[in-house]
Structure 1
Amino acid sequence: MNTPDSVERSAFGTLPDGRRVDLYRIVNGNGVEMEVTNYGGIITSLKTPDAQGRLDDIVLGFGSLDGYLSDAYRQSNPYFGALIGRYGNRIAGGTFELNGKTYDLAKNDGPNHLHGGDKGFNRVLWNATPFENDSGSGLMLTYTSADGEEGYPGKLDVEVTYTLTDNNELAIDYKATTTRATPVNLTQHSYFNLGGEGSGDILDHQVMINADEFTPINETLIPTGEIKSVKGTPFDFTKATAIGERINDDNQQLVRARGYDHNFVIDRASATDDTLVLAARVSDPESGRVMEVATTEPGIQFYSGNFLDGTLTGKGGNAYGHRSGLALETQHYPDSPNQADFPSTILKPGDTYQSRTVYTFSTE
């Protein structure tokens, strides 16, 4: 493999079946640095400058493969930094009907199916090809999901490209084709703390979400089917608001999720399906770091790290406590295969699934 100068490849560990796992270090012209492993497509590290130019690692994760394979990690399964598929988020009852046939999936989140099942894309070894082009440097990851894998119909060929640009952007391009009609909803599950991983909670982070509506959830975190206005609720992030300002309000939706774990309906107005639209902006007053998220997707899941409880210790030697990271997962809506009024996630033979999300890092 010819690895470009801006990408370094090294050994990251060995899977129980003996297969080698690699780590790829990608650096842009400004010194922003990302590390990605081909196990699960996991972004293990992302170092960006603060307002004083100091680099800190702003994503949660581990310094070796063992952390991602440990029993403690698998029991809590926070999906740190991983690629998620075939279906990001939840499918009610672990079942859906398609073309007159019922498909049963793993129930790995209470009564529901979550993030692709027992062995989703976060736990497979991807083929990795480093590259350098006019846009930047990065890694192309490919994987073929067999017909019937985790209960899903059709052989699915997947390609995900991470590109780190000199504009301090992390662009993620998703592409997939199938041999049979199947639900597809790919996303990326990095947890961000703009103060640096292990630096404490994210409750002071200011969040803006470009969404006038969200999808309320039932007791098992499945959308009820309603599209509800955020106005007058703790879910109104149309103007930048500290995460901690309303997270403990006496609100049924917050109580059910133990905080924020909801899909927001991005205001795409007259934008076409393949147009990038700003979905969210996060800033940390302490470090001055800013992250903007633009996407072609119709939704974004805002998760405030409610289930982190300090049992996992990250690469910096710090325990990841309650709300020590936040996730912003661009996506189609949860449980879309069972919700006829939601945008469809069914990919058909002959069609190509394509999606793009860009995270842009800056300071203020």
Structure 2
Amino acid sequence: MKQLYAILTVAMLSVALCSYAQEQVQIRLVNSNGMEAVISNYGARLVSLTAHNWNGRLEPVVKTYTNKEEYMKDRTLGATLLSFGKNHEETLSGKIWELVSSDNQSVTLRYVTSEGENGLDGKLNVTVTYTLSDQNALDIDYRVATTAKTNLEVTNGICFNLSGEMHRSIIKQHLWVDAVQMNTYNAQRQLTGVLQRIKNTPFDFTKPREFGERIKSTRNGYDNAYQLRHPDNMQKPAAILFDAQSGRAMTVYSSEPTLNINTYGKDSQGITLQPIHTGYNSGMEKVSNELQPGQVLHSATVFFFTTDPPLIMRTK
């Protein structure tokens, strides 16, 4: 009878733990300067981020929704976006990820796919770690392993607006990108691997420019994959975004060779800067997004915030 009771107790505990594991939870990270990030295990997503303006006031700098239902309708915003398998579709932003570890300034989440999920022959083991450093940087570290060969891409769905007012247009904000070429898309929005030079076009940000200066010359704003000039060097900034009114500057560092920049139209209220594992390395060798068993894909992105913009971004 005691054995039966013990078995039933263990079973009930297992059910309770499984139920808890499926709950949506949020983890609050705070650095020594008061900057705050909130991470959700639903899609391993950033749901809130604040940064100081020129007079020290903390304000939001990423677009968010106010309730869970909106995130369920738009599963990409702020999420970890991973496309993989034979279908090469993104699915994990709608999943509850396992909370592996967390402290005041860092959290690690994990998702292990089931056999055959999304047409994959084996399984993927994906971890993402968000760290909010005392240097006012949000670091995102991805690691992916597989039990079967697959092609994959991993990035983020974070949409920034440095003004501190999420309903204000970003067309007055300045952008600099360390790129002189773009990787072109085909009609199906797939990257072709064909590079196109951008000098003297509306897509040239080798000198800082306001979005509004030339955005009307584009079809529907910016949505372009920039081939970075220093694809193997995380010490070199990939891009810098600057809002003169708030004084905020955000420098992007990436381990990936390509940075996709999307303003979501011509009068945008937000911008995504998404590093992706495609394009060419510093030796102009084509980068493969094929992952073999035994290999680990490691990708890192840093969003560094300051109110002392780099010299190249200073407008006065």
- What is the CA-CA distance between 1:78 and the residue it aligns to? 6.9
- What is the CA-CA distance between 1:122 and the residue it aligns to? 1.1
State whether residues 26 and 33 of structure 1, in contact with CA within 8 Å, keep that contact through their aligned partners in structure 2: yes
- What is the CA-CA distance between 1:220 and the residue it aligns to? 3.6
State whether residues 42 and 81 of structure 1, in contact with CA within 8 Å, keep that contact through their aligned partners in structure 2: yes
Hey, what does 1:56 align to over in structure 2? 59
Q: Residues 18 and 361 of structure 1: is their aligned pair in 2 closer, same or farther, counting only changes over 3 Å?
A: closer
AA at the equivalent of 2:270:
G
State whether residues 60 and 197 of structure 1, in contact with CA within 8 Å, keep that contact through their aligned partners in structure 2: no
Quote the Cα distance in structure 1 between the aligned partners of 2:177 and 2:120: 32
- What is the CA-CA distance between 1:154 and the residue it aligns to? 2.6
Q: TM (normalized to structure 1)?
A: 0.73
State whether residues 21 and 98 of structure 2, in contact with CA within 8 Å, keep that contact through their aligned partners in structure 1: no
Q: Can you list the C-alpha shifts for 1:302-346, whole angstroms capped at 9, x where unaligned?
A: 000229xxxxxxxxxxxxxx5110000011238x9xxxx841100
1:93-172 mapped onto 2 (5 Å cutoff): 103=86, 105=87, 116-117=89-90, 120-132=91-103, 137-172=105-140
1:269-348 mapped onto 2 (5 Å cutoff): 271=232, 275-306=234-265, 322-333=267-278, 342-348=286-292
Hey, what does 2:307 align to over in structure 1? 363
Q: Can you list the C-alpha shifts for 1:150-209, whole angstroms capped at 9, x where unaligned?
A: 223331101110000000011111111101111121111100000124231111110011
Higher relative helix content: 2
- What is the CA-CA distance between 1:18 and the residue it aligns to? 10
Q: Can you list the C-alpha shifts for 1:113-142, whole angstroms capped at 9, x where unaligned?
A: 6xx33xx1211111113434xxx7111010
RMSD: 2.4
Q: Residues 224 and 19 of structure 1: is their aligned pair in 2 closer, same or farther, counting only changes over 3 Å?
A: closer
Hey, what does 1:221 align to over in structure 2? 189
State whether residues 23 and 96 of structure 2, in contact with CA within 8 Å, keep that contact through their aligned partners in structure 1: no
1:248-259 mapped onto 2 (5 Å cutoff): 248-249=216-217, 254-255=218-219, 258-259=220-221
**Which residues of structure 2 form unaligned runs of 5+?**
1-19, 309-316
Compare CA radii of gyration and give the structure with the larger one.
Answer: 2
1:25-36 mapped onto 2 (5 Å cutoff): 25-36=28-39
1:158-237 mapped onto 2 (5 Å cutoff): 158-237=126-205
AA at the equivalent of 2:236:
V
Q: Which runs of 4+ in 1 moved over 6 A?
A: none
Quote the Cα distance in structure 1 between the aligned partners of 2:76 and 2:235: 25
State whether residues 29 and 37 of structure 2, in contact with CA within 8 Å, keep that contact through their aligned partners in structure 1: yes
Quote the Cα distance in structure 1 between the aligned partners of 2:75 and 2:262: 11
Quote the Cα distance in structure 2 between the aligned partners of 1:27 and 1:131: 12
AA at the equivalent of 1:354:
H
Quote the Cα distance in structure 2 between the aligned partners of 1:346 and 1:276: 26
